Amino acid sequence: MTASGSKRVLIVEDERDILKLVTHYLEKEGFRVLTATTGIEALKKIQEEKPDLLMLDLMLPEMDGLEVCKRVRAAPETAMLPIIMLTAKAEESDTVIGLELGADDYVTKPFSPKALVARAKALLRRLERAPAAESTRYRYGPLAMDLGRHEVRLGEKEVLLTAKEFGLLEHLLRNPGRVLTRDILLNAVWGYDYYGTTRTVDVHIRRLKQKLPLLDEAIVSVKSMGYKLKEL
């Protein structure tokens, strides 16, 4: 199955022209598309339809995209739902807040529909493991990662990570002691030639440290370069 085959994408956008355009490109690539035009409607459809991916505009009537994102991440049953935020360039500070709240990725308007579809495919591909990867496991002290189960545990407790947080942690665990530049991490984890701000990596590293405090000192910031995971 391809990344798009039978996958359901919920687009939450109140601008009808954009909604229609994105729907057209996604359906052309084999996605099944659901739509919502308000934040309240989005939460209802997420609960009822259980989409595989959420494309979420920041500026929405009734409830904005940031609040929708916050509620999606707060609910255990949707905590790992992949989220791409759609933002205007003037909303850069809101974009960072969106990443802080758990959005996996973002695109700024005006955007290329083809580029948006490519990001959707890349994000979903991270969740589809090849058979060879199914038995791969990593350990870092009491931290254990199981790629086949898409699971991270700290001792006996499971820690819920978003798709990008999971991918970022996996790349760090694969390369202990190695300095990984922000560009390397963007291209490896986000899965395409990324042209967005490198602040995306910083925000996701910060979120990883919040969810897994043992990484607070283990992940070291290397000035003007990127990050490395200390070897145990």
Per-residue pLDDT, 69: 94
The residues near 156 (Cβ < 8 Å, ≥ 6 apart) are none
Per-residue pLDDT, 66: 92
Delineate the domains of the chain, giving CATH numbers in brackets: 8-125 (3.40.50.2300), 131-229 (1.10.10.10)
Per-residue pLDDT, 132: 47
- pTM comes to 0.73
Spell out the per-residue pLDDT of the chain, length 232, in tens: 445 558 999 999 999 999 999 999 999 999 999 999 999 999 999 999 999 999 999 999 999 999 999 999 989 899 889 999 998 866 667 778 888 888 888 888 888 898 899 889 888 876 665 444 456 889 999 999 998 888 999 998 999 898 889 989 999 999 999 999 888 888 788 765 555 566 788 989 999 999 999 999 999 999 888 999 999 8
**Cα–Cα dist 33/7, whole Å:** 8
Per-residue pLDDT, 84: 93
